Chain A
Amino acid sequence: MSSASLTDNRTVDVDRLVDRKLVLYFYLASLTYLFISMLGGLLMAFQLIRHNPLSGIEIFSPGRWRMVHTNAIAYGFLANALLGSMFWAVPRLTLRPVLSRLLSWFIFIAWQGVVLATAGGILLGQAQGLEWGETPTWIDPVALLGLALVVLNFLPSIVMTKGPLYVTLWYFMAALVWTFLTYAMGNFMPEYFVSGSAAGAVGGLFIHDLVGLFVTPIGWGLMYYFVPILLKKPIWSHGLSLVGFWGLAFFYPLQGIHHFLYTPIPMFLQYGAVISTIAVELVVASVIINFFGTLRGSGSAFITNLPIRWFYTGMIFYFLTCLQCAFQTTLTFQAIIHFTDWVVGHAHLVMFGVFGLWIQGIMTYLMPRLIGHEWYSRRLCEWHFWLSAISLAAMATDLIAGGLVQGHVWRALLPWDVSIEASMPFWVVRVFTGLGMFAGQIVFYVNIYRTFQLAQQGAPEAAPAARPALVGA
């Protein structure tokens, strides 16, 4: 056992600071759900090109699979990976373990129960009529309780930290509270308290806040932690990072209505959403400048250091999605792209291209330390990266282009069939790009499995505590 004293008279038990096994389990659960979700995505993609292999089986009907696809991504893949990474980062940043090990394991098991029940409920036709909140209504209170326990587990170590907080901890603290409130707002208000287009407006806030107030702050918080420790230099400007944080806090919650431009929602609310979206664009620019400022002088790390490559590729995609948003938020542009595959392309670009890539970068860095052995194959790690990044870029480009075609066909008031036929080539390409992304994951799973095997055999090349070989810079 290794414990060491700090100048504030605390003793840190370094070996027990992070529960590595728990982090590993969160990651394995996350990757399992990614696999299931991708299967669902592929099935839906085949359905759209009229080749559904499970045609006629009610519980596997495409509408249900689509919901499994999106929910498994949000609550299975992203939530597990982000929580696992927080279980790594928070104790290391605060030098305090989380509130309780037992509670942490309870949260892990309970969360898997929530996700599996959600998937089961959806397949059995009990979905709630709220986009991204399809979790059957009877699971909502349990999920909310789970989120409350997460807050309880993490918050004490953060608030007990003395002195000015590092930006990552600001993001985490806010995300913990935001996620709880967002989940409550989205799942309970439209269900029990408001109806009609008011419920629609709350639904818009919910889907956007889920991305912006849960995934985004934890994602950026993790980047502010992992990028400096991998580059071995501090973030370019901590002040600027705080501007980004407070900017997100004040202006993000306003913009959910931008999903509902041209709907019966009053125009002044729609304009408000457009203005706050522009404000957030500027916040985002400040964050990106900060990260690229940090990379300056260490540019070669982008090539030699694989986790850094995952992170910065994700940031480039982030910049592209925000650039898209700048266009998307204008009413002129909305008139063409609304309801088209442009939006689906945008969704994949941000969910997989940004957060998916960051998560996989973090896993590429941490897995050897969690498993206790260096990666089985660096070449497989490279394949994982290139298959994922290239296929995703191709899928997003394909869907964005397809969306523009659909929008113009609809504007020309041509029959619906015409727009379906025009979309078909784009949907075929989506199947192939999806298979590429899927292949990238299979390569990753094989690499993880072989690394486990090496660790179990006690093969000599154990992972050094500090720097796995992929961290080349």
Chain B
Amino acid sequence: MNQTTSAPPRNRRARVMTAVFALVILIPSMLGFIAKFIEFIAVFRGQGEGSFAVTPMVNYLLATTGFFCLFGWALLHGMFREIEAPKQRMLETEEWLVRQEAASDSM
């Protein structure tokens, strides 16, 4: 079985859609995040109601830091290169397995 499939021709429309969605999602979410961060600073400035919010915020920041590291790791390890290739490889793997199973069944 050939495990090293080359990427299919890029689908231009899919790439444009990906970029558009990345922007539409990232911009409002970044704004939300920045707003959160400003509020977080306010907590430490001693606003009365602020100290309460520390628990959920710290939870979130810890989780997000983990994901940020994972994202960086994925980027550095080429996980987003040939971004469409895994979808072809996955199908080929499954088809190969099915063929092997059919052969095994008929033995």
Q: A residues near B, CB below 8 A?
A: 1-2, 4, 6-8, 12, 14-15, 17, 92-93, 95, 163-168, 174, 177-178, 181, 185, 189, 194, 196-198, 201-202, 205, 225, 228-229, 232-240, 242-243, 246-247, 249-251, 253-254, 256-257, 265-266, 268-269, 271-272, 275-276, 278-279, 282-283, 285-286, 289, 293, 464-466
Contact with A along B86-101 (1 / 0, CB 8 A): 1111110110111011
In the A-B complex, the 10 residue pairs with the closest CB atoms: A2-B104, A275-B32, A234-B87, A465-B101, A279-B29, A237-B14, A166-B86, A239-B18, A466-B98, A238-B87
A238 and B83 within 8 A (CB): yes
Q: A4-B100, A164-B78, A269-B53 are in contact. Are A282 and B25 (CB under 8 A)?
A: yes
Residue of B25, B79, B96, B100 near A164 (CB, 8 A) is B79
Contact with A along B17-56 (1 / 0, CB 8 A): 1100110110011011101100100100000011011011
If the complex has contacts A6-B1, A238-B83, are A279 and B101 also in contact, measured as CB distance less than 8 A?
Answer: no
Task: Quote the shortest CB–CB distance from B43 to chain A (angstroms).
Answer: 9
Q: Which of A177, A205, A239 is B15 in contact with, Cβ under 8 Å?
A: A239
- Closest chain A residue to B100 by CB distance? A14
Are A166 and B90 CB-contacts (below 8 A) given A2-B103, A250-B29, A266-B52? yes
A286 to B22, alpha carbons, bound, how many Å? 9
Most chain-A Cβ atoms within 10 A of its Cβ — which of B25, B35, B105? B25
Bound CA–CA A321/B4 (angstroms): 40
A185 — which chain B residues lie within 8 A by C-beta? 59
- CB neighbours (8 Å) of A233 from chain B are 91
Candidates B4, B29, B86; contact of A276 at CB < 8 Å: B29
Knowing A238-B86, A266-B50, A269-B56, say if A228 contacts B14 (CB, 8 Å).
no
Smallest CB gap from B99: residue in A: A466
B102 and chain A: residue at smallest CB distance = A465
Q: Which residue of B lies closest to A278 (CB)?
A: B28
Instruction: Say yes or no: A237 contacts B17, CB within 8 Å.
Output: yes
Shortest distance between the CB of A252 and any CB in chain B (Å): 9
C-alpha spacing A383/B58, complex, angstroms: 49
Minimum CB–CB distance for A305 against chain B, Å: 16
Are the CB atoms of B79 and A228 closer together than 8 Å? Answer: no
Q: How far is the CA of A275 from the CA of B89 in the complex (A)?
A: 37
Main DSSP-derived SS at the B contact region: helix
Residues on the B chain within 8 Å of A196, using CB = 52
CA distance A269 to B58 in the complex (A): 13
Complexed CA–CA distance, A257 and B91 (Å): 40
In the complex, the chain B residue whose C-beta lies closest to that of A372 is B105
- Chain B nearest CB from A7 CB (Å) reads 5
Partner of A236, one of B14, B56, B96: B14
Residues of A within 8 A of B55 (CB): 189, 194, 198, 201-202
A residues less than 8 Å from B18 (CB atoms): 237, 239-240, 243
List 16 A-B pairs, Cβ < 8 Å: A2-B103, A2-B107, A7-B3, A167-B86, A229-B91, A229-B94, A234-B91, A238-B84, A238-B87, A239-B18, A269-B56, A272-B35, A272-B36, A286-B25, A465-B98, A466-B101
Known: A243-B18, A250-B67. A228 touches B91 (CB 8 A): yes
Chain A's closest residue to B62 (CB) is A181
| Interface contact B97-A164, CB-CB below 8 Å | no
Query: Whose C-beta in chain A lies nearest to the C-beta of B105?
Result: A465
Contact with A along B64-83 (1 / 0, CB 8 A): 10110011000000111111
Which residues on the B side are within 8 Å of A95 (C-beta)? 93, 97
Chain A residue numbers with a CB within 8 Å of B70 are: 249
CB distance from B97 to the nearest CB of A (A): 6
- Which residues of B are found within 8 Å of A285, using beta-carbon distances? 21
Q: Which residues of A contact B101 (CB under 8 A)?
A: 2, 14, 465-466
Contact A198 to B52, CB < 8 A, known contacts A228-B87, A466-B102? yes
Q: Which of A239, A253, A268, A271 meets B63, CB within 8 Å?
A: A253
Distance in angstroms between the alpha carbons of A177 and B69 in the assembled complex: 14
Docked-complex contact A254 and B36, CB < 8 angstroms: yes
A242-B63 in contact (CB<8A) = no
CB closest chain-A residue, reference B11: A237
Give Cα A236 to B33, complex, Å. Answer: 30
Per the bound structure, the CA–CA distance linking A346 and B15 in Å amounts to 34
**CA–CA, A253 to B63, complex, Å?**
8
Bound: A286/B103 CA distance, A: 39
